Amino acid sequence: MQRYFCVKKDLDIFELNKENSYHAKTVMRMKLGSRVEVVYQDVCYLGEIISLDEIVKVRLIKEKDEYNELDTKVTICQSLVKEEKMDLVLQKGVELGAYSFIPLRTKNSVIKISDDSKKILRWQKIVNDASRQAKRNVIPKVFNIMNLEDITKLDYDLKILCTVNELSMSLKNILQNNKKCGTMIIVIGPEGGFKKDEEDYLISHGFISTRLLDFVLRTETASIVALSMINYEYTR
């Protein structure tokens, strides 16, 4: 059953936005009476399509007792990478339960972005589509591009810096020692890795130097591994 996110509700009637209305009518070829899931203010409802005008309207049938979200709100802070790799980070991050994303400028970032606003809009659309497909209750937010100083000012219960330093504590051990963590940020370096002064700067601001596996991972793989480990440790 298809799931759509809704920002407007009038009594027992939901209105889909133009993008979701187009998807329901043109892509999925839904008919009057077709049943869909609608998420409104993080709550999932079962509904029935009652109008196929430009804006599709859905009548509420019942609330569904379902909440597909991690208890820990995980922010993936991904250093800027090439377009196809960033797309992968966003799509798989949504599927694995990330709560938000922060694109990060670093010294070894391989791309330069001239118009941040257009990129953010594109990335948010990717996240929106992935959230519908993954049947999330929340659409993760893509924040504006930040630098290291910006992220040190953010407040999280647990701040993780992914590194290839084999002497760093493993993420598995950190998660096992922080079972009641409410919020977490995971910072992932660019393809060339962080400069030593960048790692030192983050560590001096409370980030824990952490290794994911004994192997060296590509930057676009790191968040997938980290979120998979979080799901394993926190959802059993």
Task: Say which CATH topology domain 3-63 has.
Answer: Ribosomal Protein L25; Chain P (2.40.240)
Give the pLDDT of residue 79: 95
Helix (H) or strand (E) holding 122: helix 116-134
In sequence order, what are the beta bridge partners of 39? 5, 44
> Which helix H or strand E contains 60, and what residues bound it?
strand 56-63
**Residues of the chain scoring pLDDT < 50:** none
Please name the residue that has the structure tokens 């790692």: 199
* pLDDT tens by residue, 18-66: 999 999 999 999 999 999 999 999 999 999 999 999 999 999 999 998 8
Q: What is the pLDDT of residue 138?
A: 95
Fold of the 73-234 domain: Alpha/beta knot (3.40.1280)
Find residue 56's DSSP bridge partners: 52
pLDDT in tens, 196-214: 999 999 999 999 999 998 8
Whether 27 contacts 14, CB under 8 Å: no
Distance CA 220, CA 210 (A): 17
Residue-level pLDDT at 213: 84
Sorted by where each begins, the domain ranges of the chain are 3-63, 73-234
The confidence score (pLDDT) of residue 220 equals 94
- Collapsing DSSP states into helix, strand and coil, what is residue 78? strand
Predicted pLDDT at 152 = 96
Q: Is the dihedral of CA 97, 99, 103, 109 positive or negative?
A: negative
pTM of the model: 0.91
